[in-house]
């Protein structure tokens, strides 16, 4: 078991990572009866994609001796209705311009093949932009 989740009422949940004890609280979004005071479950889906891309690229970058420290991911979630679901996830990555063009291509391919990307249903559009700045 990885996580224990408790529904705490008022459309909120507390998720505890069992190994570390860290927690994440969720809240329903304002457009679905929540207060929007925490990440929603669908927000976390999008955050999972972005953090997986960055983490997978960082693992590869260690092998390549390319420093990605300070990289930033900006995430936008687009919801659809009927049925209510995530329709599109936009991730814009602003990455330090370390390494050469070949290194960047390898790292982008690595990011595009992260485990979360491979786990997301193909009906969800993902738009990933890599900016090497």
pLDDT in tens, the chain (133 residues): 999 999 999 999 999 999 999 999 999 999 999 999 999 999 999 999 999 999 999 999 999 999 999 999 999 999 999 999 999 999 999 999 988 999 999 999 999 999 999 999 999 999 999 999 9
Compute the distance between CA of residue 50 and CA of residue 56 in angstroms, rounded to an integer: 10
Count of structural domains within the chain:
2
Question: Are 76 and 112 in the same domain?
Answer: yes
Question: Are 48 and 106 in the same domain?
Answer: yes
Contacts of 114 (CB under 8 A, 6+ apart): 49, 52, 53, 55, 56, 57
* Confidence (pTM): 0.95
Contacts of 118 (CB under 8 A, 6+ apart): none
Question: Are 18 and 63 in the same domain?
Answer: no
Structural domain span for residue 23:
3-32
3-state DSSP assignment of residue 25: strand
Question: Are 56 and 91 in the same domain?
Answer: yes
Question: Are 28 and 79 in the same domain?
Answer: no
Entry field: residues in the chain: 133
């Amino acid at each position: 078991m990885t996580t224990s989740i408790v529904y705490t009422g008022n459309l909120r949940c507390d998720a505890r990572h069992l190994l570390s004890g860290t927690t994440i609280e969720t809240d329903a979004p304002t457009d679905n009866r929540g207060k929007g005071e925490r990440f929603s479950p669908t927000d976390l889906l999008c955050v999972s994609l972005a953090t997986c891309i960055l983490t997978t690229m960082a693992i590869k970058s260690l092998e390549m001796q390319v420093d990605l420290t300070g990289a930033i991911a900006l995430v936008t979630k687009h919801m659809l209705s009927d049925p209510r679901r995530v329709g599109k996830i936009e991730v814009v990555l602003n990455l330090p311009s370390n390494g050469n063009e070949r290194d960047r291509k390898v790292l982008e391919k690595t990011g595009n093949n992260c485990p979360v990307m491979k786990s997301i249903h193909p009906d969800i559009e993902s738009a990933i932009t890599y900016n090497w700045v």
